[in-house]
Structure 1
Amino acid sequence: MKRIEKEYEQGRLLQQPTQTTVGELIDMVVKSHRKDLGKTKKQVLTAIKRFDVAGYEVASLKTSDLIEFATQVAEGGHGQSARTPSTTANYMSHLSGCLRLALPVFDIPFERQIVTEAREATTLLGVTGKSKRRTRRPSLEELDAFDQPHLSGPV
């Protein structure tokens, strides 16, 4: 009880929850990252900021919000053509990475379980998944056509 009284006196219990949007969180993660982010990660995080989820408050995110985001990505939201389940999973992975840093790094309230539930649900729904394995092998004619430009040049 004394701990609670002490926190109340210090004003910690009266603080309003941080109202940081997903888009702002992405910017914070990019700015605070010590390692150089790869080209693909930067592009994906920039693209995520164009989706509806970027305007949602991190603290009030629900599993259904992340499932809706994944569905928008898969259906080709924002002028893109439909994306494969593996590409959608990549978007979810990058967004999940940012959300998982919200509480420990930036003190923004967020339940990590939301990400886990959303990723499980999108996999079960077929919205996200692994990349397809290639089963077809090139024919000999295709291999010959591929090698022709290399063979005709000076040796």
Structure 2
Amino acid sequence: MASVTIDKRQKANGEFSFRCTVRVKKNGVIIHRESRTFSKKELAKTWGKIQKEAVELNSIAKQNKVITIGELLDLYFNDVDLWANTGRTKRYVIQMLRDCPLASVLSNELKSSDLVNHCKMRRAAGAGGATVYHDIAYLRSVMKIALPVFDVTANWKIFEDAVPVLIEMKLVGKSQKRTRRPTEYELERLIEALTERQNKQGSNIPFVDILNFSILTCMRIGEVCAIKWEDLNKEHKTIIVRDRKDPRKKEGNHMIVPLLAGSFELINKQEQTESRIFPYNSKSVTAGFQRVRKSLGITDLRYHDLRREGASRLFEKGYSIEEVAQVTGHRNLNILWQVYTQLFPHKLHDKFST
């Protein structure tokens, strides 16, 4: 720790001068000393304060490593404990950042202009504001733990100044609310084409059953392909969905989900060949869906939109938001209503015909 002293001295002409001395001691021994004389005490105090902070910052930099952002990302990548608990999106972003010009910047010298240039480059490559925001958010999270985990000095506080600027420049932003639902005609065509695909020799994935089950249960495809026979309660027509996705609780978030409409019957159709009810790779299911969708010329429809379709159907059937949340697994009811609901106005007529 540095110390500052100011000595008042009288010159031969009777005027006073002020000598400021900055010292650094280690184990009782002075290892650094510098001084300067001023005509006014306030000038001496100001200089002393500035020099003291500079010496202390320099001391910290010497104690801790300074490396490039790319090297810091590599440290994060190679830390088993950190990487194992990192989500798929964040992993992709970190690996992508490793190959960007930003990776060559020293971790303690990152400036707002570096972030602005990175965001402009990403925008020019076609990335949207919400996608680019992931770059900034995930980089900040890595830099924030650099010192306590890796003894690396990183200027993570620069994000406090940079983010408002990036938002004002519209280089980053929130994702647009997605409202896409498949029409009845699109679903009919998808089911017809998927039936043809699964009937081909060598195909063993029941695409149509999985598609209908995804809609009726509002499950993510990863959840559909993970549910097990041992978690099925035939008496209550429910199933346990384990480790359900939740931003606040990534593990142990098990939920009992009701198997509504024909979803229970779809399960009973499946052969019990192993522990999982739908023992298929979720990526293979999604890939098959995408190929069929593309061949039909259906645009801007993702497999995850089936989850919105299912939730919207439940609302149209008259289920309350709390009841729908029991199916979808949402803890935050606002997100359920705002993101996973897109009602067809013409369906409101059905209320008067029943």
Per the TM superposition, whether the score is higher than 0.5 is yes
Using CA pairs under 8 Å that are at least 6 residues apart, name the structure with larger relative contact order, 1 or 2.
1
Match of 2:105 among 41, 50, 56: 56
1:27 alignment partner in structure 2: 74
Letter paired with 1:87: T
TM alignment of 1:44-123, pairs within 5 A = 44-76=93-125, 82-123=126-167
Query: Is the 2:123–2:132 contact (alpha carbons within 8 Å) kept by the matching residues of 1?
Result: yes
- Deviations along 1:88-129, one digit per CA (max 9) or x if unpaired, are 111222211111112232233333321122222222221111
Structure 1: gaps (5+ residues): 77-81
Match of 2:62 among 15, 27, 36: 15
Query: Is the 2:66–2:153 contact (alpha carbons within 8 Å) kept by the matching residues of 1?
Result: no
Moved more, 15-24 or 125-134: 15-24
Q: Would the alpha carbon gap of residues 17 and 34 (structure 1) be closer, same or farther in structure 2, given more than 3 Å must change? A: closer
Q: CA deviation at 1:65?
A: 0.8
Please identify the structure whose Cα radius of gyration is greater.
2
1-structure distance, mates of 2:194, 2:64: 63
Larger relative helix fraction: 1
Letter paired with 1:22: I
Letter paired with 1:5: K
CA RMSD of aligned residues (A): 3.0
2-structure distance, mates of 1:93, 1:83: 15
1:144 aligns with 2:188: yes
Structure 2: gaps (5+ residues): 4-22, 32-57, 200-268, 270-354
Q: CA deviation at 1:137?
A: 3.9
1:132 aligns with 2:176: yes
1:38 aligns with 2:87: yes
Q: Percent identity among equivalent residues?
A: 26
1:4 aligns with 2:51: no
Specify the SS of the correspondent of 2:24: helix
Q: CA deviation at 1:70?
A: 1.7
Specify the SS of the correspondent of 2:81: coil
- TM-score calculated relative to the size of structure 2: 0.37
